[in-house]
Amino acid sequence: IESRHRLRGGWQMAPYACQRRTPLLHSNQPLTEALETLAEEAGFSGSEGRSLAFTRAASVLKALPGRLSTLEELGPLPGIGEHSRRVIQDVLEDGVCAEVERVKLSERYQTMKLFTKIFGVGVRTASRWYQEGLRTLVDLQERGTKLTRQQQAGLRHYDDLNTPVERGEAESISRAVQGAVQRCLPGTSVTLAGGFRRGKPHGHDVDLLLTHPEAGREAGLLSRVVSWLDSQDLILYQHSQENSYALQEGPEPPGGRDVMDRFERCFSIFRLEVQGGPGAARGWKAVRVDLVVAPISQFPFALLGWTGSRHFERELRRFASHERKMVLNSHALYDSRRVWQLWAYVGTWG
Ligand code: CTP
Ligand code: MN
Ligand code: MN
Ligand code: MN
């Protein structure tokens, strides 16, 4: 896009994160860490807008070509609000920001972090538990807190699931799934998506996208694959969700962005044999795995949508809608104006 914002020293910055090169390793780590802590804390308080503002500011800093040494270098760069500027200034001047340090030490932040790291526990549940006076994982067990089957599995494998997954482990799981699909439906491809596809050396889970080159052949595949993996004792937990695309009444209205896609999927915990690392003594480690099945016609959009990052996807969709009047999701890209015309036309049929 044409309207790049010029920074002092000749730096330029495109307005959407999806237009910027955002390397994994960048020069402003202490600043982005501070801002992302505040983004996380805002998310814990249900302030999505505030959280997004801090995430945006961090994203801008990640794209800077060098280390920021004074606030002035940023110039009047949009995307970084008053509050974020104050945080940046504090960290630049003192090495830390008092507000961030306060957050990190607060009982609420620490408890929310502890609870939301349980597989199956979101901000709402964690917040309710905090309100009820729960503070530790032991509290959950001792007070007989009602847990879903997913949360029970999450708690049982808490330490493993919060140990980063290494790339080698992701590849080994990918091969196991590859083996399973070749048995169930030869020709099916398995693609490693998520953070690993972005080149991250480790992640919190393994995201695998399945598709078959012949349209329709993928129907029923997931349950067969999961059953086979299960029969090989590779699965510690799983719950699947059916494809809900067929149920869809029409395309999403342009404003109402759908975060969740409608592919058939399986949220699971794998039992991965390991030689070293934390699970070495018992010889295996629990790893979170997401399996997603996309029909070949939607595969490019599914792959794009499942590669992330979350912020990159959000920005890509915002760019499509604001700059191109198009709708992008994990299923398709289309011209929103034409869809509305079509809807108006169908509407006249009564
Ligand atoms: N995603 C999605 N729908 C979900 C969950 C995830 O579309 N219900 C997409 C997200 O947009 C994200 C990607 O799948 O871009 C991967 O999500 P996730 O595994 O949560 O994050 P990663 O970027 O892979 O980070 P990590 O390494 O921590 O797993
Ligand atoms: Mn992931
Ligand atoms: Mn890391
Ligand atoms: Mn995932």
Region 80-86: what's the mean pLDDT?
A: 95
SS3 343: helix
Say how many Å lie between the CA of residue 7 and the centre of ligand 2: 33
**pLDDT score for 340:** 72
Pairwise CA distance, residues 223 & 245, whole Å: 17
13, amino acid identity: M
Nearest to 60 by CA among 19, 103, 10: 19
CATH for 6-103? 1.10.150.110
Which ligand gives the minimal distance to the CA of 203? 1
Pairwise CA distance, residues 336 & 324, whole Å: 9
Dump the DSSP string for 172-212.
HHHHHHHHHHHHHSTT-EEEE-HHHHTT-SEESSEEEEEE-
Dump the DSSP string for 34-79.
HHHHHHHHHHHTT-HHHHHHHHHHHHHHHT-SS----GGGGTT-TT
Say how many Å lie between the CA of residue 245 and the centre of ligand 1: 19
Q: Catalytic: which of 205, 230, 261, 335?
A: 205
Which ligand gives the minimal distance to the CA of 29? 3
15 lines ligand 1 (CB under 6 A): no
User: What residue spans define the domains of the chain?
Assistant: 6-103, 107-156, 165-345
Dump the DSSP string for 4-33.
PEEPGGG-EE-SSGGGS---SS-S-HHHHH
Say how many Å lie between the CA of residue 146 and the centre of ligand 1: 27
Pairwise CA distance, residues 101 & 99, whole Å: 5
Looking at ligand 1, which residue's alpha carbon is closest to its atom 12?
308
- Whether pLDDT at 152 is above 60: yes
CATH for 165-345? 3.30.460.10
Tokens of 269: 């915990």
SS3 333: strand
Looking at ligand 1, which residue's alpha carbon is closest to its atom 25?
195
Tens digits of per-residue pLDDT, 277-293?
Answer: 777 789 999 999 999 99
117, amino acid identity: K
**Tokens 């794209």 map to which residue?**
63
Say how many Å lie between the CA of residue 308 and the centre of ligand 1: 6
Tokens of 57: 């500011």
Pairwise CA distance, residues 8 & 39, whole Å: 26
Strand pairing class (284-293; 206-211) = parallel
115 lines ligand 1 (CB under 6 A): no
260 lines ligand 1 (CB under 6 A): yes
Task: Considering only residues 164 and 345, tell me which one the structure prediction assigns the higher pLDDT.
Answer: 164
CATH for 107-156? 1.10.150.20
**pLDDT score for 123:** 98
Provide the mean pLDDT of the chain.
91
Rounded to a whole number of angstroms, the CA Rg of the chain reads: 22
| Residues 203/194, Cβ–Cβ less than 8 Å | yes
β strands within 87-234, DSSP E: 165-166, 189-192, 202-203, 206-211
Tens digits of per-residue pLDDT, 226-269?
Answer: 999 999 999 999 999 988 765 444 444 443 444 578 999 999 99
Note the pTM of the prediction, 2 decimals: 0.91
Q: One fold for both 107-156 and 165-345?
A: no
**pLDDT score for 248:** 46
User: Which residues place a Cβ less than 5 A from the ion ligand 2?
Assistant: 194-195, 203, 205, 207
205 is catalytic: yes
